Amino acid sequence: MAASVASPLCTWLVAACMSVSCEKDRAARSSAGRWARRRTAVAARGAIGMEGRDSTGSLISAFCGSGIQGLMSSLEPCPEFYKSRNASPFFGENGFLLIRRSKAEANRRQRMLARPSVASGKSLAVAVEPAKPVAEKKILNAKQRRVAVTGMGVVTPLGHDPDVFYNNLLDGVSGISEIEAFDCANYPTRIAGEIKSFSTDGWVAPKLSKRMDKFMLYLLTAGKRALADGGVTEEVLSQLDKSRCGVLIGSAMGGMKVFNDAIEALRVSYKKMNPFCVPFATTNMGSAMLAMDLGWMGPNYSISTACATSNFCILNAANHIIRGEANMMLCGGSDAAIIPIGLGGFVACRALSQRNDDPAKASRPWDVDRDGFVMGEGAGVLLLEDLEHAKKRGATIYAEFLGGCFTCDAYHMTEPHPEGAGIILCIEKALSEYGIAREDVNYVNAHATSTPAGDLKEYQALSRCFGQNPELRVNSTKSMIGHLLGASGAVEAVATIQAIRTGLVHPNINLENPDKNVDTSILVGSKKEHLNVKVALSNSFGFGGHNSSILFGPYK
């Protein structure tokens, strides 16, 4: 191992940094070589005897010295360095490429480094990409890994169990109601998809429940529910390789209430501030806290791309599994922005519906009377797992993750591209990159938020991509629960997977007077419909022009 590491490294260092004559170099190398070999032998013996400990210290210490001379004295040039002087064009074996310099450049380099041994026209070694055989092997392995959905967890206005949640969707129940968490009488919008009843008992420690922002409480609860739903008991958890289990759950807004409370406290004195206000306000801390609770040491971070957050997290989590970096990933999104500053912010940008007199009918995607989206709150988490890993532990496989894609409109902060170019590109790349025929996609859970421009642009993009498919059915979960911001994609992914499992797609409620530019033949009606889902597409788009599409199908 020492040889494989030192060989390419010393080649680069010697070629770049030697500043003494050839004869003196050889003498120094001969002396340093014996010393380096002794250090390598000691390091190897130490590594063998330390069983489970970090043995990298010995390797690192071999590179320590007084400046570059100390560094150089600890390394013996490898045979490849001497071969390079014979103008060998490549070091293919070690993954190093030799770039041939011009005569003038070589002379200039020679004078700068005072290296008489380097003649004009010689080649200099620089580190570049790994050798091709390694890359090809990784790609081959990646193609062999499939990703299964083995668990689901939700916290929503229509229930906190995936089956209860989906049964309410199938029945056309609305979760939109008047806001009760605070007095919003002076706001032009006083309705939301608010969670009325929520408890962390059995999921989150009481001390943390009192301190954390709701977005983190929703996240932790949904995450642990997904594990329970996936059959990951304490016994199973203890047997997992936790270095290959990760968490990737994001948030669009983060801990808004914790941060807002800290600002209010600061008006009195910094001494009144919650010492947890900074960590509990950041979007990454939800994933981090869940990983700490589970002891999962694999990939752990969060992504925040506005209302496309969940899809970004799901696709990236799946990629960690596909690349062989993880066996299990908890992924999704969470948001809890139904507070005065959250409501006020969206009111100020004129994005919300003001149908306060009839909350249940306020969210109405593709209807001509739509007047803005309805805020919602909650969390959705999927347990993604390497298919072979899931089969070995006897997990129930709900569906298979088939792929996805991201694009950017690069057009406007809040408005979609007028031609839907970014959406079309996103869908078409998702299909082409994963080899899925567009005629196989017969169900779309649309982003459709009930905004005048957004609904229409997405519909036009779907018509262009799948308009020739007579089996295509499209619906919007937001018609019943509102827009859960960063959590919406994950909650809608759960609805999509439930459609695959049950063979039933939920209705579009409140579609009473369809927009004249919309052909309702592809839209699900006011009642649930039977559908044998072949491939399902779930879209999510966000402020900033973020587009995301993810694909699921039945496990075969």
- Domain positions in the chain: 147-554
437-461: pLDDT as tens digits = 999 999 999 999 999 999 999 999 9
8 A C-beta contact, residue 540 and residue 310: yes
Residue 274: the pLDDT is 86
160, 389, 417, 483: the catalytic one is 483
User: What does the alpha-carbon distance between residue 291 and residue 285 come to, in Å, rounded to a whole number?
Assistant: 10
Res 365 pLDDT > 80: yes
Res 25 pLDDT > 80: no
Residue 185 makes CB contacts below 8 A (sequence gap 6+) with none
Q: How many CB atoms lie within 10 A of CB 160?
A: 22
Res 472 pLDDT > 80: yes
Residue 143: the pLDDT is 56
- Residue burial 465-501, b: 16+ Cβ < 10 Å; e: rest: bbeeeeebbbbbbbbbbbbbbbbbbbbbbbbbbbbbb
The tokens of 43 are what? 């390091």
* Listed range (26-35, 493-502, 505-514) with the worst mean pLDDT: 26-35
102-154: pLDDT as tens digits = 444 545 555 554 444 433 434 333 334 444 444 443 443 445 699 999 999 99
173-211: pLDDT as tens digits = 999 999 999 999 999 999 999 999 999 999 999 988 888
User: What does the alpha-carbon distance between residue 426 and residue 374 come to, in Å, rounded to a whole number?
Assistant: 25
Res 234 pLDDT > 70: yes
412 catalytic residue (yes or no): no
Residue of 546, 240, 256, 193 whose CA lies nearest to 404: 546
Highest mean pLDDT among 11-25, 134-148, 388-402: 388-402
Query: How high is the mean pLDDT of the chain?
Result: 81
Residue 52: the pLDDT is 37
307, 313, 331, 465: the catalytic one is 307
What is the three-class DSSP state of 417?
A: coil
> Using N-to-C axis directions, what is the helix angle for 285-294 and 214-229, rounded to 10°?
40
Beta strands across the sheet bearing 546-553: 300-301, 245-250, 328-335, 378-386, 147-155, 399-408, 546-553, 535-542, 441-445, 473-475
483 catalytic residue (yes or no): yes
The tokens of 473 are what? 């059915």
8 A C-beta contact, residue 5 and residue 47: no
Residue 210: the pLDDT is 87
Res 248 pLDDT > 50: yes
Res 241 pLDDT > 50: yes
> H/E element holding 260?
helix 256-266
160, 389, 417, 447: the catalytic one is 447
User: What does the alpha-carbon distance between residue 556 and residue 540 come to, in Å, rounded to a whole number?
Assistant: 26
Residue 108: the pLDDT is 54
Residue 27 makes CB contacts below 8 A (sequence gap 6+) with none
What are the helix and strand counts (H, E) for the chain?
20, 17
Residue 110: the pLDDT is 54
User: pLDDT above 70 covers what percent of the chain?
Assistant: 74
Higher per-residue confidence, 23 vs 524: 524
Res 527 pLDDT > 90: yes
* Start-end of H helices in 148-242: 162-170, 206-211, 214-229, 234-239
530 catalytic residue (yes or no): no
Transcribe 56-115 into DSSP letters: HHHHHHTT-SSHHHHHHHT-PPPHHHHHHTTT-SEEGGGTEEEEEPPHHHHHHHHHHHT-
Res 216 pLDDT > 90: yes
Report the first-to-last Cα separation within the chain, whole angstroms: 42
8 A C-beta contact, residue 511 and residue 499: no
31-77: pLDDT as tens digits = 444 444 444 443 444 443 333 334 333 322 322 333 333 333 333 44
289-325: pLDDT as tens digits = 999 999 999 999 999 999 999 999 999 999 999 999 9
User: What does the alpha-carbon distance between residue 453 and residue 42 come to, in Å, rounded to a whole number?
Assistant: 69
Residue 80: the pLDDT is 44
CATH class of segment(s) 147-554? alpha beta
Higher per-residue confidence, 271 vs 94: 271
User: What does the alpha-carbon distance between residue 386 and residue 392 come to, in Å, rounded to a whole number?
Assistant: 10
Q: How many CB atoms lie within 10 A of CB 124?
A: 16
Residues paired with residue 540 on neighbouring β-strands, in sequence order: 548
- CA pseudo-torsion sign 148, 150, 155, 157: positive
- Write the CA distances from 374 to 422, 434, 493, integer angstroms: 24, 34, 19
Res 86 pLDDT > 60: no
3-state secondary structure 431-477: HHHCCCCHHHEEEEECCCCCCHHHHHHHHHHHHHHHCCCCCCEEECC
478-493: pLDDT as tens digits = 999 999 999 999 999 9
Res 239 pLDDT > 60: yes
Residue type, position 156, single letter: T
